[in-house]
């Protein structure tokens, strides 16, 4: 996501190449930038996309897990391919 660290972005790139190798290097990869996704990408998610704050806990980042009864404010856009992001 747009708030991911360089370590997280690097890990995603590594996992992408590992998955490509596992699939016999026949997969086609596309990079999508959060907030500027193509219509084709958004169409894969028939019920829409919801981006929530958070992430994976690491030595650099603390993440609360199993937190309930949270009120969220979402910014929703789109009519056919809906995208919602936590404000």
Catalogue the long-range contacts made by 79-82 (C-beta closer than 8 Å, 24 or more residues apart): 81/39, 81/42, 81/43, 81/45, 81/48, 82/48, 82/49
- Collapse the DSSP code of 84 into the 3-class scheme (helix H, G, I; strand E, B; otherwise coil) and give the result: strand
pLDDT in tens, 17-68: 999 999 898 888 888 888 888 888 888 888 888 887 766 566 556 666 666 6
Q: What is the spatial distance between Cα 15 and Cα 1, in angstroms, rounded to a whole number?
A: 15
Q: Looking at the chain, how many residues does it have?
A: 87
> What is the pTM assigned to this prediction?
0.56
Domain ranges, ordered by start, for the chain = 6-86
Given this model, what pLDDT does residue 5 score?
81
């Amino acid at each position: 996501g747009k708030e991911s660290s360089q370590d997280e972005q690097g890990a995603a790139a590594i996992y992408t190449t590992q998955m490509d190798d596992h699939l016999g290097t026949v997969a086609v990869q596309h990079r999508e930038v959060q907030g500027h996704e193509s219509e084709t990408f958004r169409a894969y998610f028939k019920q829409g996309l919801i981006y929530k704050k958070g992430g994976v806990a690491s030595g650099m980042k603390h993440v609360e897990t199993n937190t309930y009864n949270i009120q969220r404010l979402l910014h929703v856009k789109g009519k056919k391919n809906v995208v919602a992001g936590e404000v």
